[in-house]
Each structure stands twice: as structure tokens, then as C-alpha cells.
Amino acid sequence: MSDICISAASVSHSYDAATALTDVDLEVPRGSLFGLLGPNGSGKTTLFRLFATLLPLQAGSIKICGSDLQEDPAAIRRMLGVTFQSPAVDVRLTVVENLQCHGRIYGLPRGTLVKRIDELLEQFSLSDRRKSIVGELSGGLRRRVELAKGLLHRPEVLLLDEPSTGLDPAARRQFWDMIHEQQQKEGTTVVLTTHLMQEAECCAHLILMDKGQIVSQGSPQTLQASIDGDRLSIRTRDSVELKAELESLLRVKARDVGSRLCFRVPDGAAALQHVMSTCGDQILSAEVASPSLEDVFLEVTGHGFEDNVAHGAVFPGEAAS
């Protein structure tokens, strides 16, 4: 059995005249937690939908668990579990009814289905909610039902599209604990899309995407270690007027990221002290931080996540949530 679960070669995709993906190449190791990180409109959701066999392959090749997407999408679908950004459970049915319907679609024998549902309800702490109407559950509990549904038939690959959208911090942590437990217990290959840096840091391997292309990849730690120095972020009363003065003072060019001026400096603390002693009365706020994934993205693209509207189209299914 190959150590590569998913491979994509020279994959391109367009919506009418708008190009969503351009010559994407990647390999997802079997059993890994693999993230596609990028702002809205970067192409990550288009790639996700190709993996999920929801879009026709226009150019290039994709293989999942040894099956070719172009030749045998049905075989791939049997190996996938998918949790979409938008809810895909019936809010009028109970938790157990939703799982029963999904299991029947996959043709699970009745005895196997009953046992599997009981296992997942126990695993995700939903046993006491089995007869609850899904529409009456909290967002975090609904997300657990979604995850249980996606794992019901023991898929080799679990695809998660913006999995913690709408969850509060506590529910998000619980959801991620369940993902890690599933991956370690079953060896499931997990591929997710996200625009959240904190979520991306949970992955073992990351692809950074922008304007339909892969701009960088590696583990979060490797990506962050690729940048030297600290990030100094400054909000000023008048960034236009003060920008040139700060660039001269710090001897480095500023990057406009939203309402902030960002500088890459060797020693953030010393640079901050220098700025405050020189023009502190014009500074609204300042922050020093070690390199983050957002800094990596900024370094390789020249713009931040929040600047995406000005730097690229938003494709169908990739609109801001």
C-alpha cells in the first residue's frame, strides 16, 4: 500500500473566465492531518470540492487511495467521509435518525449500523442526545453529529471544509480533540480547509494557497521557522503621514496589513522601544510577535488574509462566511 493517500498533479480549474486553480501539485501522506490554508477566494474550497468529487476534473490528475478521479469517482466516494462548512444534517430528525439514514445510503447492514451508531454516540458524548431533534441542539453538538455522520462508514479519508465555522472557542477545542482522537485511533487521513491560523497550527502539514496557487508548504513549525526576526505591528493616528518616518527610523519597508503597518525587524523589543521613544504620541497601539503563519503568508504573497478582496476573485462556494 502506498504511503501517499491523495496526489494531485497539474490540477487547474476555472469558473467561466475566472481561474480558480493553476497547476496545483501536492501529495497527502496516508494517516496525516493535512491542511489547506488560504483566504476566501484562494482556491482551497475548489480543490476540496474536486477531492470530494463534487466538481468535474478539467485539467490535470487526482488520485485518492489509488483510484483515479477521472476514471472511477464512485470508488473514491465510497472511501470518503465529508463534513461541509454548511450543515448537512436534517434538523427535523433526531440524532439517531440522521445517522440511520446516512448508514442506509452507504448500505451498512442493520446490525453493523446499530453497533456503529452506538460506538460513535459514545465516542462523541452524544449518547444522551440520541433522541434529540437536531434542530434543537447547540452549534457544537450539531457539529459533533456532522462528524459522526461523516465517520459512520469508517472512511479512509475524512474531508473537512472550514470545520469549526460558527463554533465558540470551547466547542472548537472539543471538536479538535475529537478529530485528533479519531485520527490517532483509526489512522484516518484528514484533509481540511481553513482560513483560521489557530486551526491551521493543529495540522501536521500545510499548503498555503493564494490566487489559485500553492505559495508555500510544510509543517507549521517549518513554515514559521523560515522567517527570521520579529513582527512589529503598529496602528497610528495617521499611517500615511507616519509611514515614511517609521521606515526611516527602523530602516525597513512597511507592509500595510488592514489598519496596521507591519515591519520585519531583528529585535522586536528594541525596535518597539525605539519607535515609542521617538513618536510614541502618534502610536495608537503596537505589538511584537514571533513569526506566525500569517507572517509566512504575508512574506510570500506581499499581502495579508484580510486584503484578499482587493487581490483576487471570490469563486463560487468560496464566499466569505
pLDDT single digits (tens) 246-282: 999 999 999 888 788 999 999 999 999 999 999 999 9
Q: Is the pLDDT of residue 155 over 90?
A: yes
Q: What is the mean pLDDT of residues 73-85?
A: 92
Domain 4-223, CATH among 2.60.40.3880, 3.40.50.300, 3.40.50.10420, 2.30.110.10:
3.40.50.300
Each residue's pLDDT tens digit, 127-151: 999 999 999 999 889 989 999 999 9
Residues 180, 188: Cα–Cα separation, whole Å: 10
Mean pLDDT of the chain: 89
CA atoms within 13 A on the CB side of 158: 26
The strand pair at 33-37 and 205-210 is best described as parallel
The answer to whether 119 and 70 are in contact (CB under 8 A) is: no
Confidence of residue 53 (pLDDT cuts 50, 70, 90): very high
Of the listed ranges 25-39, 104-118, 142-156, 303-317, the least confidently predicted one is 303-317
pLDDT, tens digit (0-9, with 9 covering 90-100), for 105-117: 989 999 999 999 9
Q: Please tell me the distance from the alpha carbon of residue 321 to that of residue 318, in angstroms, as a whole number.
A: 8
Q: Which of 32-41, 158-167, 216-225 has the lowest mean pLDDT?
A: 158-167
pLDDT score at 259: 83
Distant-in-sequence, close-in-space partners of 297: CB < 8 Å, separation ≥ 6:
37, 208, 210, 215, 216, 304, 305
- CATH number for the domain running over 228-290: 3.30.70.1150
Cα 86 from chain centre: 14
Q: Which amino acid is at 29?
A: P
For residue 88, is pLDDT > 80?
yes
Question: Which of 195-204, 264-273, 282-291 comes out lowest in average pLDDT?
Answer: 195-204
The pLDDT, as a whole number, for residue 317 is: 56
The conformational region for residue 258 under phi > 0 = left, psi -120 to 50 = alpha, else beta, is left
Residues in contact with 187: Cβ distance below 8 Å, sequence separation at least 6, in sequence order: 30, 31
The whole-number average pLDDT for the span 43-67 is 96
Residue 313: CB atoms within 10 Å: 16
Alpha helices by DSSP H, 159-317: 169-186, 197-200, 220-225, 239-250, 268-279, 293-301, 308-311
Backbone angles phi, psi at 39, to 5 degrees: -70, 170
Q: Which residue in the block uniquely carries the three cell numbers 442526545?
A: 129
pLDDT score for 315: 58
Locate 277 and state its grid cell. Answer: 521613544
Q: Taking 60 as the threshold, does the pLDDT of residue 97 lie above it?
A: yes
C-alpha cell at 42: 484562494
Domain ranges in the chain? 4-223, 228-290
